[in-house]
Structure 1
Amino acid sequence: MRDLVVTQNITVDGVIEAGDWFGPADGGPELLEALRKQMARADGLLTGRVTFEQLRGYWPTQTDDPSGIASYLNKVQKDVVSSTLQDPGWTPTTILRGVDDVRGLKDTAGGAIVCTGSIDLTHQLITAGLVDEYRLFVYPTVVATGRRLFPDGSPQSLRLHTSTSFPSGVTLLIYRHR
């Protein structure tokens, strides 16, 4: 069974979606290296339709990307959960019609499946008990409003697996279920 890993950029107060608080370059070169290591361990990317369309609209055209993110995203198997998307237009991509299809995906052979962005999908995955690991890049920012990682009524019992602090002030916290 493959691990489903939720990777999110998050504020100290738990917000993952609110305005313009996040800049991917804010983490510095050490954080970028941590991202590269994560990409090397995952062979699947899971998103909802909106995040998928945002990624598809940007990354395939990035031909001079020293970070390696464009190369990874253009090659990795992408699975998008959507009831409306018909033609993904970015290979390799498979359209999944719901969370039950994600259950089936976890039962296939392969490495970790990473879900990033996609707050509505992330909430569905948490509620369905499908998340094995949380990789949280905690930014030293408090926005005091916005959508949070964990939906109301979804208590979690987690254990800290590792933590890494970066010179930028960002901390990577990796949690697994107990």
Structure 2
Amino acid sequence: MKTFLRKMKLSFQAMVCGWIACNMALLAGMLLAWGHQNYSPQNVAGGILAYGFGSGVVILAAWLFVFFPVDLLVPETSWLRRPRVAALCGFLAGNGVLLAIMIGETWNSGYPTGGSAHFEWYGLAFASSPGITGMVAAYVRSRDCSTQLYNGRPINRISKAYDIFDLL
């Protein structure tokens, strides 16, 4: 039970770091869109709050149904826990979800943008946010391995990006 609660805490903290990174990408997209679309500051602030809350709900569900169960199944000493490998897997998993949604949308209605293949660069921040969330969360969680062995030698805990959570 102690390991279960520890993994729950660590994976939740890592996902919160992923949520923060996701919102930073969404904020960049909102600010770029603000420059191109002439939105009012109130609309931009409302959009940032709405995206923050909406992404929090989605990321909470992703943590509960994907990230936490995977964290329970992958052993602490697995090669999948290496920071670079974990970050790559998290990025691919996050973007895989978005890709599945886009393929389903394209299959049902043609182009996912409503019939136009027009591309806006600020949309890249919105489209990449699931991958950013998965990458940051997996990387942060993989760095919390103070006693793991890789290639026969111990890895020391270098730093944690979420020391504030240790106060909870």
User: Where is the strand percentage greater, Structure 1 or Structure 2?
Assistant: 1
TM-score (norm 1): 0.23
User: Where is the helix percentage greater, Structure 1 or Structure 2?
Assistant: 2
TM-score (norm 2): 0.24
